[in-house]
Amino acid sequence: MIPKKTKEKLNKNLTSPNWTRYDEIRATAWHEATGLLVEEWEEHVEAYCRDRGRDCFFGTNEHGKPVAVFDAKTNEEYVAKIKHERFLQEKKYEKQGYEIEKKRT
C-alpha cells in the first residue's frame, strides 16, 4: 500500500499549479503522458501565462504535437527574438576572445 503522505504529495503535483518548471523554458509540448486533454493542457498553459505575465502562442512541433512557445505572440516574433539573442551571445563570445564562425545564407 502506498503511504498516505506519498499519495498526497504526488496528487498535489496535479491539483495545485506548480509554475516554476515553466519559468526557465522557452517552450513546452503537450504529450499523452500529461494525462490531460489538449484543451485542458492549453488552459493550464494559458493560466500560467496570465499568472506570470508571459505572452505565448500555440502551434505544432515536427511530430505534430501541440506546443506552447513563451515570450512571443507569433512565430515570426519568436524567430526574431532568437536571432537577436544569438547575435548578443556571439558579441559576448567575441569580447571574450573567441572566434565566431558565421553561417552563410
Asked whether residue 105 carries a pLDDT value surpassing 80, the answer given is: no
DSSP 3-state assignment of 25? Answer: coil
Q: How many other CB atoms are there within 10 angstroms of residue 90's CB atom? A: 14
Q: pTM of the prediction? A: 0.70
Which residues have CB under 8 Å from 7's CB, separation 6+?
A: none
Query: What is the tens place of the pLDDT at every residue in 64-101?
Result: 999 999 999 999 999 999 899 888 988 888 888 888 77
Q: Rounded to 5 degrees, what angle do the CA atoms 49, 25, 6 make?
A: 85
Query: What is the tens place of the pLDDT at every residue in 5-40?
Result: 988 887 776 666 678 889 999 999 999 998 899 999
Q: Would you kindly state where each structural domain of the chain is located, as residue ranges?
A: 19-73, 75-105
| pLDDT for 14 | 66
